[in-house]
Amino acid sequence: MRYFIDCEFDGHNGPLLSIAVVPEEGDSIHIETLATDSARDPWVIENVVSRMDQHEAETMAIVTTNEVGRELRNFLRDDIAPVIVADSPVDIGRFCAAIMTSEQGGYEPNEWSRLSFEVHDVDCYPTMLPGAVQHNAWWDAMALRDRLTRDSDEQPQAEDPKGLSGEAMPARAAEGGIAQPSAPQSSGAHK
């Protein structure tokens, strides 16, 4: 199954503040770290910390940074080959660091036969989701899921012009379009 994730952190290389995991179907989780209480970046305090509890996740946890991995592993434990989907490689990196860290801060072995990742360079806002709160990890993961599932339902597919993939590819790629990185959302405080 695909799981859409988003992370919030205190500056680009700052401590993880929260991570949310929203599956294609079923319950989601929002994990907040105790580092939220000591956030320093003024933009993060105003735009992330102030919105931290504005989510509708069925499961939530407030834990130390080293306990995030335990919560993620427990949430994903029934899937033998999860596919983690994000809109930034930074979120994938934060997810991997958390999932492979034990509660004591050491290495925690991987329990999956296959763990895959997808990164989509998309803007998830504006979104059609009523009540969405940008810069809240849960809402951002929900907006990513909505954007990618809506796009796959709406976008016409074109044939691979070189016949390399054996599958249909998005029209923009078939036309030779190259995705451009989106403009930063802040002064580097988040993604």
Tokens of 190: 């988040």
pLDDT in tens, the chain (191 residues): 999 999 999 998 999 999 999 999 999 999 999 999 999 999 999 999 999 999 999 999 999 999 999 999 999 999 999 999 999 999 999 999 999 999 999 999 988 989 999 999 999 999 999 999 999 999 999 999 999 998 776 654 444 444 444 333 333 333 333 333 444 444 444 44
Give the contacts of 84 (CB within 8 A, at least 6 positions apart).
2, 3, 5, 92, 95, 115, 116, 117, 118
The domain made up of 2-174 has a fold known as: Nucleotidyltransferase; domain 5 (3.30.420)
Report whether 7 contacts 16 (CB < 8 A).
yes
Q: Measuring CA to CA, how many Å separate 125 from each of 66, 99, 157, 160?
A: 31, 27, 23, 29
Q: How far is CA 100 from the centre of its chain?
A: 17
Tokens of 77: 């434990």
Report whether 103 contacts 74 (CB < 8 A).
no
DSSP class per residue in 15-46 = -EEEEEEEESSS--EEEEEGGGGG---HHHHH
Number of residues that this document lists for the chain: 191
Task: Count CA within 13 A, CB hemisphere, residue 93.
Answer: 11
Tokens of 9: 């952190």
How much is the pTM? Answer: 0.80
Give the contacts of 26 (CB within 8 A, at least 6 positions apart).
none
Identify whether 126 is preceded by a cis peptide bond (ω within 30 of 0): yes
pLDDT recorded at residue 155:
54
pLDDT recorded at residue 105:
96
Q: Residue 80 carries which side chain, given as an amino acid letter?
A: I
